[in-house]
Amino acid sequence: MRLTPEQMEQFRTEGWLLLPELFTPEEVDVLRREAVAIYDQHRPEVWREKNGAPRTAFAAHTYNEAFRLLGAHPRMIEPVEQVFGEKVYMHQYKINAKSAFTGEVWQWHQDYGTWKRDDGMLEPRAMNISVFLDEVMPINGPLMLVPRSHNAGDLKASHDLQTTSYPLWTLDEDTVTRLVKEGGIVAPTGKPGSMLMFHGNLVHGSAGNITPYPRKIVYLTLNAVSNYIRTPTRPEFIAHQDFAPIVPVDDDALVRYARSHRQAAE
């Protein structure tokens, strides 16, 4: 799969790109079911909110076949290789949850700030790719992006260890206000199976979810192979240290897995 020139230009100028319903309902259904099962597990990769609700599940591609296939899917890998002009490896893999009624905030931040400070990543040549497993609506805690903020470079950040269960390098209110005055705020929404790409320096965050509608999103951080991390400080299941290029699976791999899984259950 390749991006069109128009899509490449939007990503270059705005810092983000939404591809609606890129994955089929059949593919999404099996991923959603297995995400729920993963959240029920008690393992170090599954982090919870302070109230006990699931917040994120790291490294699902290392212990779940469906998410392994998603992590090597050509619809995700090939557009990023096109943008970077080289092969990529998996820097981080997580399934983020915004549970109904209890999903907590993600503060304003840039992802590259964490990758640089905590992992020793040289340049912002890594990208987040997110796949919606539930419908993302304006009301259930969608990701909010500040368009064109990736052009501001690597911004000064503070390490917030208190607000939520997940430590984050966050931006101050004056910086966010200035960037929002320049670029505004967008909140991409869409049906399950939609895929969002955004630059590692794009400022973003999300509000809590007080609605009855859960919001689960898979995030893959794909890093250019030449940009591998030099000084990781976090556990390997958070910042991966296998720098081998991802070899894409067949485009129908998830469909075949979903059908075989369904037949085995019948």
pLDDT confidence tier of residue 161, bands split at 50, 70 and 90: low
Q: Is the pLDDT confidence value at 197 over 70?
A: yes
Within 13 A of 94's CA, how many CA atoms are on the CB side? Answer: 23
- pTM for the full model? 0.91
Q: How far apart are CA 24 and CA 27, in angstroms?
A: 5
Q: Is 122 left (phi over 0), alpha (psi -120 to 50) or beta?
A: alpha
- The mean pLDDT of 121-149, rounded to a whole number, is 95
% the chain with pLDDT above 70: 95
pLDDT of residue 15: 96
Q: Is the pLDDT confidence value at 88 over 80?
A: yes
Q: How far apart are CA 152 and CA 23, in angstroms?
A: 32
User: Across all residues in the chain, what is the average pLDDT?
Assistant: 91
Residue 110 amino acid letter: Q
Instruction: Domain 5-265: give its CATH architecture.
Output: Sandwich (2.60)
pLDDT of residue 265: 59
3 state SS of 104: coil
Point out which residues pair with 47 in neighbouring strands. Answer: 56
pLDDT of residue 67: 97
Q: Is the pLDDT confidence value at 165 over 60?
A: no
* Model confidence pLDDT, tens digit, residues 28-72: 999 999 999 999 998 999 988 777 788 889 999 999 999 999 999
Q: Is the pLDDT confidence value at 201 over 60?
A: yes
